[in-house]
Structure 1
Amino acid sequence: TLQIGTVHHLGDNIARTIDIKYEAPDGEQHYAHQTCYGISDRSIAATISIHGDDKGLILPPEIAPVQVVIIPIIFKKGAKEVLAACKDVQERLKKMGIRAEIDASDLRPGAKYYKWEMKGVPLRLEIGPRDLQNNVAVAVRRDTGEKEQIPLPEIEAGVSSRFKAIHQNLYQKAKTELESRIFECEGLEEVKEKIQEGVATIPWCGNKECGLVMEEQIGAGILGIPLEQKKDRKEKCPVCGGETETRVYVARTY
Structure 2
Amino acid sequence: EVAPIQVVIVPIVYSSEGAEVEKVCIAAYEELKRAGIRVFFDNSEERPGAKYYKWEMKGVPLRIEIGPRDVRNNRCEFVRRDDFTRMQVPLGDVVPEVKGTLKAIQDSVHERAKETFFANVYKSGDSGVGKGEDKDKSEGELEELRRTGIVSIFLCESERCGREVEERLGVTVLGEAIYGDENGERVKSEGKCMICSRKAKGVYVARAY
Distance in 2 between residues matched to 1:80 and 1:87, nearest whole Å: 11
Q: SS where residue 159 of structure 1 aligns?
A: helix
135, 156, 164: which one pairs with 1:213?
164
152, 161, 168: which one pairs with 2:107?
168
Q: SS where residue 188 of structure 2 aligns?
A: coil
86, 91, 109: which one pairs with 2:30?
91
Deviation string, structure 1 residues 109-166 (Cα, Å, up to 9, x no partner): 1111111111111111111111111110011011110100110011111111101011
Question: Are the aligned partners of 2:152 and 2:204 in contact in 1 as well (CA < 8 Å)?
Answer: yes
Distance in 2 between residues matched to 1:110 and 1:225, nearest whole Å: 45
Say whether 1:121 aligns with 2:60.
Answer: yes
Q: In the alignment, what sits opposite 2:18?
A: 79
Q: Pairwise mapping of residues 157-236 of structure 1 onto structure 2 (< 5 A)? A: 157-185=96-124, 186=128, 187-227=138-178, 228-231=187-190, 235-236=191-192
TM-superposed deviation, 1:236:
4.5
Question: Are the aligned partners of 1:184 and 1:202 in contact in 2 as well (CA < 8 Å)?
Answer: yes
TM-score (norm 2): 0.82
Distance in 2 between residues matched to 1:205 and 1:80, nearest whole Å: 68
Q: In the alignment, what sits opposite 2:39?
A: 100
63, 71, 87: which one pairs with 1:148?
87
Distance in 2 between residues matched to 1:225 and 1:70, nearest whole Å: 42
Q: CA RMSD in A?
A: 1.9
TM-superposed deviation, 1:177:
0.5
Q: In the alignment, what sits opposite 1:239?
A: 195
Unaligned 5+ runs, structure 2: 129-137, 179-186
TM-superposed deviation, 1:83:
0.6
Distance in 2 between residues matched to 1:220 and 1:230, nearest whole Å: 20
Q: SS where residue 139 of structure 1 aligns?
A: strand
Question: Are the aligned partners of 1:123 and 1:140 in contact in 2 as well (CA < 8 Å)?
Answer: yes
Which of structures 1 and 2 has the bigger CA Rg? 1
Q: SS where residue 75 of structure 1 aligns?
A: coil
TM-score (norm 1): 0.68
With over 3 angstroms needed to count, the CA separation of the structure-2 counterparts of 1:116 and 1:221, relative to structure 1, is closer
TM-superposed deviation, 1:205:
4.4
TM-superposed deviation, 1:69:
1.1
Unaligned 5+ runs, structure 1: 1-61
Q: In the alignment, what sits opposite 2:204?
A: 249
With over 3 angstroms needed to count, the CA separation of the structure-2 counterparts of 1:68 and 1:204, relative to structure 1, is closer
Distance in 2 between residues matched to 1:79 and 1:210, nearest whole Å: 69
Identity of paired residues, percent? 42
Deviation string, structure 1 residues 73-115 (Cα, Å, up to 9, x no partner): 1112221111100000000001011121222222221111111
Distance in 2 between residues matched to 1:222 and 1:65, nearest whole Å: 31
Deviation string, structure 1 residues 164-186 (Cα, Å, up to 9, x no partner): 01100111011111111111131
User: Which residue identity does 1:202 align to in structure 2?
Assistant: I
